[in-house]
C-alpha cells in the first residue's frame, strides 16, 4: 500500500523518527518557557545545556563507567546545579535591565560553554555506542526500536510531571503566582530569589535530560545546541509560551511535520519548521496558543 | 505577649524612601502598639501607600529605622520582613489570575515562630462568599470578593501586623460594611492593623488613631474623638 | 544637550577617527585587514540603525550580509558583473529580503522579534546550504575585484581599501542624516512610547518596516563589499553567529551612539585577527602553554567579551567616553542609565 507514492511502512518509520525528534523539541521548549515565565529571560544557553547533557552521559560512560540509567539521573542534576551557579553568578544581575541584556548574557555564556567543549573535544560528534535498550517491538504494521519507544514514553512522562507540578502542587502555585507578580509573592514571605534559581536549574535540567535521551541516537557534538536552539525558538514563537500543553503539542507537531517533509521533499526538511512559523505569524501573529507577550 | 507589649509592634523612625530619583518619604516617624488599629490619611501622593511598601522593602532605596516586634527590619529582604509576622494587602489587591480562589487563599505560606493564624474554617466563616467561589479562577471574582480574598489570605499565615491598603476603595456600601465588620473582628482577636484609607468615615470608625501624612511626612495625629473638634483642620489636611 | 561646543567636540572626534582611518594603511595596517574592518564597521552601523533607533534586536542580519555577498560574488563569477553593479545587486537583494523578513518579524516585538529574525535567518542559511549557486560548504572563492566604473583598479589593495572607506563614509553620513531627519525623530518617538506615538497619528509598523529595510539594504551592501574586497563568501557569513558578531560590535562600541559600531568593529575584528599572536606572546611571556591555543578559542573569547560587556560595561567604549566627558564638563554626575 502506498500513500502519495510512498510505502506506508517507510512513511510510518519516518513519522516515528519525527515523533522522537518532536519529543526533544517539546522537552526543550518546555524548559525554555518555564524559565521565561519566571525570569523573563530567553535562555540562549538552552541548546548548549542539551548538548552538555548528552556529552555528560557519554563522558560518564567513557571515563567512569557510569551506565546510561545512572547518567539519565545524574546528568540533569549536574547540569541543573551548573545552571543554578550561572544564575547566581550572572543572570541575577540583569533582571532589572532591558530584555536585550538577558539575551546577550545568555548568548555570551553559550559561546563560552560551546567554545570550551569545542576546544576540549573538537566539533565531531561523540558516538555513544549501542543504545541501552536493544531490540525492536513489532506493532504488526511497523517495527519500532525499543529505545525510540522509551524516548517517547520518558519525554511524555517528564512533560506530564512538569505539568502536574506547575498546575497542581503548592510549589507550582508559587511559580505561577511569581510569574505574575514576583514582588507580591515575596511580600507573602516566599523566598523568590531561591525560587528563581531553582526554576532556572530545573529548566536547564530538562534540557540536559533530553540531551541524555538523545545521546544514543543523535551524534551530539559541541555545536548541536546551536541548531537545536533555533528550532526551539521557532517552537515557542509558534506555540506561544503561555500554555504547557500548547508548547508540548507544538514541539511534537513540528517534529512530525519535519518528518513528513523528509519523506516527500527531503531538501526542505531542515527549513520546513521555519516556513510553518512564517505561516503562523502571518495568520495568527500571537502564536497558536494564546496571546501572552 | 506581656513582654512584647512593652515594645511597639511597629516602630518607624526617620524613614526615607526613594523611587528611582524621586524622594517620596522624607522622614516618617510613628509607632503602632500591639493590638492597635492605626490609619494613615492624606492626599494622593502624600506617601501613604509608599509607607506600607517601604515597610516591606518594596520601594527603591530606603534609610532610617524600622522595628517590627522589636526586631530591626530595614536591612532585611522582603520575604524575611514578611516572616517577622507581616501580612500585606496591596491597593491593587494582587489576586493571581492563574490561581483559583482557594489556591490564592492558600498561597501565602504559614510562618514559623509566630502564633497560629486563623484556620481555613474560621476564614470561610468570616467570608462565606469565598467558600462558594473557591474553585473560580481568581480574576472571575467580583471586585468585592477579590478584596475579601486579598484580606483573607493573609490571615492564615500567622501574621500579627496587617498592612491594608485602600480596602474600601471602589466597592459597594454593603461590601464595605462586611469588610468593616471583618476588620472589627480581627481587632477583637488582637491583630495589629495599619490601614491606608481614602474613606475617612470607614477608617474613623475602626481606628484607635489617625495619622495624617503630607509630602512624605506625618504631620499630625488624632484620635477619633478629637475629630469633631478639629473638623476644619482635618478638612484642610485632606482637601485637594 | 546639543550645545554648539558639545557638537564641535563631537565633530572633532569624527574628524580624528576619519583621519586615523585614512592614514591607517600608511601606518602599518595591512589594507586587506583594513577593508575587512571597514566592511564589518558598515555591517555594524547598519545593524545599529535598527537596534539603536527602534530598540529591535535582530539576530537575522547575517542573512542579509551573506546573501548580499553571495549575489555579488555569483554575479561577478557567473556573469562577469562590474563591481559597481555587483554592489548594487547586494544592496538591492538586501533591501528586498529586508522588506520580506521585516514584514513577517515586526508583527511581534521584544524578545519574540529577536527569535523570529533568528529563525528566518536560519531558513535562509539552510537555503544557502542547499542551492548550488552558493558553492555549498566550499562557498564562493576567488571572486575577482575588477575595475570599478571601468577605470578604478580594485586589484590594488590600497585602492580597494579607500574605495571601501569612501562607501563606508557615505553610508555613515546617510545613516546620520536619516537619524536626524523627521523620520528619525518619529522613530525615536515610537521607541520611547509606542502607544503615544500611535495616538499622535504615527503608524509604527510602517516606520519599523522602512527602517528594517534600510538596515537590511546597507547590510547587503556591506556583504557585497566584503565579498569583493576579500574575494570569498562562505556559509559562516550567513550563520547566525555573524549576527551575534554585529550585536557584540554594537555593544562593545556603545549602544545608542552613532560612532559606537565603528569603534566596536575596529576593536573586535582586530582582536580576532591578532588573538593568535596575542596568545603566543602571552604564552612566551607567562610560560603558560594554554595561551598559545588562544587563536583557536575565538568563540570563547567572544563569549567572555559578551559577558563582561553586559555585566560591567553596558555603555560601551563610546558611551563611557561620552559619560566621562559629561562628568568633566558638569560638576554633578549624570544618573546611571537603567541600573
**What does the pLDDT look like over A49-78, one tens digit per residue?**
999 999 998 888 888 888 888 889 999 999
User: Within its chain, how far is the Cα of C302 from the centroid?
Assistant: 16
C299, C313, C315: best to mutate for the A interface, most A CBs within 10 A: C299
List, in order, residues 6 or more apart from B160 with CB less than 8 Å away.
Answer: B9, B34, B69, B85, B114, B115, B190, B191, B192
E strand or H helix at C293: none
Residue ranges of A 222-281 with Cβ closer than 8 A to chain C: 226, 230, 233-234, 236-237, 267, 270-271, 274-275, 277-278, 281
Nearest chain C Cα distance for residue A238, angstroms:
10
Q: How far apart are CA C168 and CA C221, in angstroms?
A: 10
Calpha distance A123→A192 (Å, rounded): 39
Per-residue pLDDT in tens (0 to 9) along chain C, 339 residues: 444 455 677 788 788 888 888 888 788 788 888 889 999 999 999 999 999 888 889 999 999 999 999 999 999 888 988 888 999 999 999 999 999 999 999 988 888 888 889 889 989 999 998 888 887 788 888 888 877 787 877 788 888 899 999 999 999 999 989 988 888 888 888 888 888 888 888 888 889 999 999 999 999 999 999 999 888 888 889 998 899 889 989 988 888 888 889 989 988 888 888 877 777 777 777 777 667 676 677 788 888 888 998 888 888 888 888 888 777 766 554 444 443
Question: What do you get for the CA distance between the two ends of chain B, in Å?
Answer: 42
Cβ distance of B107 and A192 shorter than 8 Å: no
Considering the entire predicted model, what is its pTM? 0.87
- Determine contact, residues C61/C125, Cβ cutoff 8 Å: no
* Cα-Cα-Cα-Cα dihedral sign, residues C111, C113, C118, C119: positive
Distance from C-alpha of B103 to C-alpha of B111, rounded to nearest angstrom: 17
C-alpha cell at C140: 564562493
**Using the beta-carbon criterion (under 8 Å), do C307 and A237 form an inter-chain contact?**
no
Residue B154 in contact with partner chain A when CB distance is under 8 A: yes
- Read off the pLDDT of residues A104-134 as tens digits, 9 standing for 90 and up: 899 999 999 988 888 888 777 677 777 788 8
What integer pLDDT is reported at residue A67 of this predicted model? 85
What element of type H or E holds B166? none
Separation in Å, CA of B39 to nearest CA in chain A? 20
Q: Is B76 on the interface with A (CB under 8 A)?
A: no
Given a contact cutoff of 8 angstroms between Cβ atoms, the answer to whether C319 and C260 are in contact is yes
Coil, helix or strand at residue C80: coil
Tell me whether residues C304 and A93 touch, CB distance under 8 A.
Answer: no
Q: Which residues contact A267 (CB under 8 A, 6 or more apart)?
A: C130
> Are B157 and A188 in contact (CB < 8 Å)?
yes
- Quote the pLDDT of residue A29: 92
**CB neighbours of residue C338 within 10 Å:** 10
- Please tell me the predicted confidence (pLDDT) of residue B154: 92
Mutate which of B79, B92, B106, B138 to test chain A, going by most A C-beta atoms within 10 A?
A: B79
Judged by CB atoms closer than 8 Å, whether chains meet at A111 and C339 is answered as no
Q: What is the 3-state secondary structure (H, E, C) of chain A?
A: CEECCEEHHHHHHHHHHHHHHHHHHHHHHHHHHHHHHHHCCCCCCHHHHHHHHHHHHHHHHHHHCCCHHHHHHHHHHHHHHHHHHHHHHCHHHCCCCCHHHHHHHHHHHHHHHHHHHHHHHCCCCCCCCCCCCCCEEECCCCEEEHHHHHHHHHHHHHHHHHHHHHHHCHHHHHHHHHHHHHHHHHHCCCCHHHHHHHHHHHHHHHHHHHHHHHCCCCCCCCCHHHHHHHHHHHHHHHHCCCCHHHHHHHHHHHHHHHHHHHHHCHHHCCCHHHHHHHHHHHHCCCCCCCCCC
Res C7: pLDDT: 67
Q: Please report residues of B whose CB lies closer than 8 A to that of A177.
A: 96, 98-99, 107
| Structure confidence at residue A24 as a pLDDT band (50, 70, 90) | very high
Cell of C59: 539576530
Q: Which residues of A touch C129 (CB under 8 A)?
A: 270
- Cα A46 from Cα A34, distance rounded (Å): 12
**pLDDT at C335 (0 to 100):** 47
User: Which chains have at least 3 CB atom pairs separated by less than 8 Å from chain A?
Assistant: B, C
Closest CA to A276 of A292, A265, A287, A264: A287
Of A170, A177, A190, which is closest to B96 when you measure between CB atoms?
A: A177
Distance from CA of A57 to the nearest CA of C (A): 23
Residues 28-57, chain B, touching A (beta carbon < 8 A): 56
Q: Could you tell me if A100 and C57 are in contact, meaning their C-beta atoms sit under 8 angstroms apart?
A: yes
pLDDT value, residue B240: 55
Note the pLDDT of residue A283.
84
Give the Cα separation of C169 and C100 in Å (integer): 27
Which residues are registered as beta bridge partners of B15? B28
Q: What is the pLDDT of residue B3?
A: 47
Provide the ipTM. 0.89
Task: With beta carbons under 8 A apart, name residues in chain A contacting B154.
Answer: 188
Q: What is the model's pLDDT at position C338?
A: 43
**Of residues B23 and C148, more confidently modeled:** B23
CB contact under 8 A, B107 and A180: no
pLDDT in tens, A210-260: 999 998 888 888 888 888 898 998 898 888 777 888 889 999 999 999 998
Distance CA(A252)–CA(A27), nearest Å, equals 9
Q: Which residues of A touch B (CB under 8 A)?
A: 170, 173-174, 176-177, 179-181, 183-193
Q: A283 at the C interface (CB within 8 A)?
A: no
Beta bridge pairs of residue B217: B214
Which residues in chain A have Cβ-Cβ distances shorter than 8 Å to C339? 96-97
8 Å CB contact of C311 and A111: no
Chains that touch B (3 or more CB pairs under 8 A): A
pLDDT computed for residue C5 by the predictor: 52
Distance CA C312, CA C306 (A): 10
How do beta strands B209-214 and B37-42 pair? parallel
pLDDT at A142 over 90: no
pLDDT of residue A117: 87
| Nearest-angstrom CA–CA distance, A241 and A230 | 15
Chain A residue closest to B98 (CA)?
A176
How close does chain A come to B89, measured CA to CA in Å?
9
- Selecting from C115, C120, C123 the residue whose C-beta is nearest the C-beta of A236 gives C115
Q: Which of C108, C307, C338 sits opposite A98 (nearest CB)?
A: C338
Confidence grade of residue B65 (pLDDT, cut at 50, 70, 90)? very high
Check B98 against A174: CB less than 8 A apart. no
Average pLDDT for B203-217? 90
A187–B99 CB contact, under 8 Å: no
The confidence score (pLDDT) of residue A293 equals 40
Q: What tens digit of pLDDT does each residue of C87-132 get?
A: 999 999 999 999 999 999 998 888 888 888 988 998 999 999 888 8
Q: Cβ contacts (< 8 Å) between A190 and chain B: which residues? A: 79, 108-109
What does the block give as the cell for C45? 552601523
Nearest to C224 by CA among C49, C104, C95: C95
What cell does B145 get? 470578593
Question: B2 falls in which pLDDT band (50, 70, 90)?
Answer: very low
- Res. B5: pLDDT tops 60: no
From the candidates A41, A121, A237, which should be mutated to test the interface with C, based on the most C CB atoms within 10 A?
A: A237
List, for residues C222-255, the tens digit of each pLDDT value.
999 999 988 888 888 999 889 988 998 998 888 8
**Which one, of C202, C179, C181, lies nearest residue C190 by Cα?**
C202
Q: What is the CB neighbour count within 10 angstroms for residue B1?
A: 9
Q: What CA–CA distance (Å, rounded) separates C98 from C60?
A: 10
Return the SS3 of B227.
coil
CA-nearest residue to B93 within chain A is A184
Dmax over Cα atoms in chain B, in whole Å? 49
Q: C4 is written with which cell numbers?
A: 554648539
Question: Which one, of C256, C272, C322, lies nearest residue C49 by Cα?
Answer: C256
Using DSSP, how many helices (H) and how many strands (E) does chain B show? 9, 10
CB-CB contact of B215 with B222 (8 Å): no
* Residues from chain B contacting residue A186 (CB–CB below 8 Å): 77-79, 82
Question: Are B111 and A185 a contacting pair at CB < 8 A?
Answer: no
How confident is the model over A150-160, as pLDDT tens digits?
Answer: 999 999 999 99
List, for residues B117-165, the tens digit of each pLDDT value. Answer: 888 888 998 888 888 888 998 888 888 899 999 999 999 888 999 999 9
Task: Spell out which residues of chain A touch residue B109, defining contact as CB-CB under 8 Å.
Answer: 188-190
Q: What is the mean pLDDT of residues B163-187?
A: 90
Q: Is C57 helix (H, G, I), strand (E, B) or coil?
A: coil
Window 87-126 of A: residues touching C by CB (8 A cutoff) are 90, 93-94, 96-101, 103-105, 107-116, 118-119
Which of chain B's residues have a Cβ under 8 Å away from the Cβ of A183?
58, 78
CA C36 – CA C225 distance, rounded (Å): 9
Amino acid at each position: 500500500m502506498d500513500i502519495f507514492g510512498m510505502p506506508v511502512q517507510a512513511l510510518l518509520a519516518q513519522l516515528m523518527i519525527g515523533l522522537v525528534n518532536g519529543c526533544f523539541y517539546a522537552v526543550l521548549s518546555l524548559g525554555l518557557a518555564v524559565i521565561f515565565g519566571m525570569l523573563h529571560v530567553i535562555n540562549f544557553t538552552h541548546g548548549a545545556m542539551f548538548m552538555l547533557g548528552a556529552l555528560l552521559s557519554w563522558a560518564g560512560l567513557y571515563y567512569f563507567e557510569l551506565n546510561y540509567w545512572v547518567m539519565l539521573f545524574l546528568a540533569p542534576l549536574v547540569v541543573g546545579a551548573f545552571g543554578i551557579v550561572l544564575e547566581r553568578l550572572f543572570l541575577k544581575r540583569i533582571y532589572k535591565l532591558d530584555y536585550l541584556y538577558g539575551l546577550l548574557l545568555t548568548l555570551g555564556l553559550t559561546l563560552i560553554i560551546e567554545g570550551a567543549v569545542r576546544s576540549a573535544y573538537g566539533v565531531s560528534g561523540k558516538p555513544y555506542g549501542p543504545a541501552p535498550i536493544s531490540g525492536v517491538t513489532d506493532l504488526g504494521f511497523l517495527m519500532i526500536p525499543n529505545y525510540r519507544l522509551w524516548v517517547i514514553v520518558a519525554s511524555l512522562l517528564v512533560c506530564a510531571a512538569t505539568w502536574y507540578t506547575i498546575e497542581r502542587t503548592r510549589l507550582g502555585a508559587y511559580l505561577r503566582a511569581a510569574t505574575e507578580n514576583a514582588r507580591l509573592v515575596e511580600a507573602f514571605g516566599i523566598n523568590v530569589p531561591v525560587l528563581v534559581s531553582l526554576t532556572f536549574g530545573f529548566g536547564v535540567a530538562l534540557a540536559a535530560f533530553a540531551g541524555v535521551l538523545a545521546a544514543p541516537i543523535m551524534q551530539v557534538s559541541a555545536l548541536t545546541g546551536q541548531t537545536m536552539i533555533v528550532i526551539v525558538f521557532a517552537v515557542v514563537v509558534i506555540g506561544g509560551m503561555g500554555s504547557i500543553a500548547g508548547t508540548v503539542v507544538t514541539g511534537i507537531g513540528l517534529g512530525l511535520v519535519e518528518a513528513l517533509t523528509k519523506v516527500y521533499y527531503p531538501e526542505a526538511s531542515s527549513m520546513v519548521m521555519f516556513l510553518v512559523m512564517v505561516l503562523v505569524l502571518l495568520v495568527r501573529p500571537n502564536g497558536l496558543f494564546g496571546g501572552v507577550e | 505577649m506581656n513582654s512584647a507589649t512593652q515594645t511597639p509592634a511597629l516602630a518607624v523612625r526617620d524613614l526615607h524612601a526613594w523611587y528611582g530619583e524621586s524622594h517620596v518619604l522624607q522622614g516618617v516617624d510613628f509607632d503602632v502598639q500591639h493590638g492597635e488599629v492605626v490609619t494613615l490619611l492624606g492626599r494622593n501622593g502624600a506617601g501613604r501607600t509608599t509607607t506600607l511598601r517601604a515597610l516591606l522593602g518594596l520601594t527603591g532605596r530606603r534609610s532610617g529605622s524600622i522595628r517590627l516586634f522589636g526586631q530591626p527590619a530595614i536591612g532585611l529582604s522582603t520575604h524575611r520582613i514578611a516572616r517577622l509576622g507581616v501580612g500585606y494587602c496591596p491597593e491593587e489587591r494582587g489576586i493571581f489570575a492563574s490561581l483559583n480562589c482557594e489556591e490564592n487563599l492558600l498561597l501565602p505560606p504559614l510562618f514559623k515562630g509566630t502564633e497560629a493564624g486563623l484556620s481555613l474554617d474560621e476564614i470561610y466563616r468570616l467570608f462565606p462568599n469565598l467558600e462558594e467561589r473557591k474553585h473560580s479562577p481568581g480574576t472571575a471574582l467580583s471586585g468585592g470578593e477579590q478584596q475579601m480574598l486579598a484580606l483573607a489570605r493573609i490571615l492564615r499565615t500567622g501574621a500579627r501586623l496587617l498592612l491594608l491598603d485602600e480596602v474600601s476603595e471602589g466597592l459597594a456600601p454593603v461590601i464595605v460594611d462586611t469588610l468593616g465588620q471583618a476588620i472589627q473582628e480581627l481587632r477583637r482577636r488582637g491583630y495589629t492593623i495599619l490601614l491606608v484609607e481614602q474613606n475617612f468615615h470607614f477608617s474613623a470608625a475602626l481606628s484607635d488613631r489617625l495619622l495624617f501624612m503630607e509630602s512624605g511626612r506625618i504631620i499630625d495625629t488624632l484620635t477619633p474623638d478629637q475629630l469633631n473638634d478639629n473638623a476644619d483642620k482635618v478638612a484642610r489636611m485632606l482637601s485637594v | 544637550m546639543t550645545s554648539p561646543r558639545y557638537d564641535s567636540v563631537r565633530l572633532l572626534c569624527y574628524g580624528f577617527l576619519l583621519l586615523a582611518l585614512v592614514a591607517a594603511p600608511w601606518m602599518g595596517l595591512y589594507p586587506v585587514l583594513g577593508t575587512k574592518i571597514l566592511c564589518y564597521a558598515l555591517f555594524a552601523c547598519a545593524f545599529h540603525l535598527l537596534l539603536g533607533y527602534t530598540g529591535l534586536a535582530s539576530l537575522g542580519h547575517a542573512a542579509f550580509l551573506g546573501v548580499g555577498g553571495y549575489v555579488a560574488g555569483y554575479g561577478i563569477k557567473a556573469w562577469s558583473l562590474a563591481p559597481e553593479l555587483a554592489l548594487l545587486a547586494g544592496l538591492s537583494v538586501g533591501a528586498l529580503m529586508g522588506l520580506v523578513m521585516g514584514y513577517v518579524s515586526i508583527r511581534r516585538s521584544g524578545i519574540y522579534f529577536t527569535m523570529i529574525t533568528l529563525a528566518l535567518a536560519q531558513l535562509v542559511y539552510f537555503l544557502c546550504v542547499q542551492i548550488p549557486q552558493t558553492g555549498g560548504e566550499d562557498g564562493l572563492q576567488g571572486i575577482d575585484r575588477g575595475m570599478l566604473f571601468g577605470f578604478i583598479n580594485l586589484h590594488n589593495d590600497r585602492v580597494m581599501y579607500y574605495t571601501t572607506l569612501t562607501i563606508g563614509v557615505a553610508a555613515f553620513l546617510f545613516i546620520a542624516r536619516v537619524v536626524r531627519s523627521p523620520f528619525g525623530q518619529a522613530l525615536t518617538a515610537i521607541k520611547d512610547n509606542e502607544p503615544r506615538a500611535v495616538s499622535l497619528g504615527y503608524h509604527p509598523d510602517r516606520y519599523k518596516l522602512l527602517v528594517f529595510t534600510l538596515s537590511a539594504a546597507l547590510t547587503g551592501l556591506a556583504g557585497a563589499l566584503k565579498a569583493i574586497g576579500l574575494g570569498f563568501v562562505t556559509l559562516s557569513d550567513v550563520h547566525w553567529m555573524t549576527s551575534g558578531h554585529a550585536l557584540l560590535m554594537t555593544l562593545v562600541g556603545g549602544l545608542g551612539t552613532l560612532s559606537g559600531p565603528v569603534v566596536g568593529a575596529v576593536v573586535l575584528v582586530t582582536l580576532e585577527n591578532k588573538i593568535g599572536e596575542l596568545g603566543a606572546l602571552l604564552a612566551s611571556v607567562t610560560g603558560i602553554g594554554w595561551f598559545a591555543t588562544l587563536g583557536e578559542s575565538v568563540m570563547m573569547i567572544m563569549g567572555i567579551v559578551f559577558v563582561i560587556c553586559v555585566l560591567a560595561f553596558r555603555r560601551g567604549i563610546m558611551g563611557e567616553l561620552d559619560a566621562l566627558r559629561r562628568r568633566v564638563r558638569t560638576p554633578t554626575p549624570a544618573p546611571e542609565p537603567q541600573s
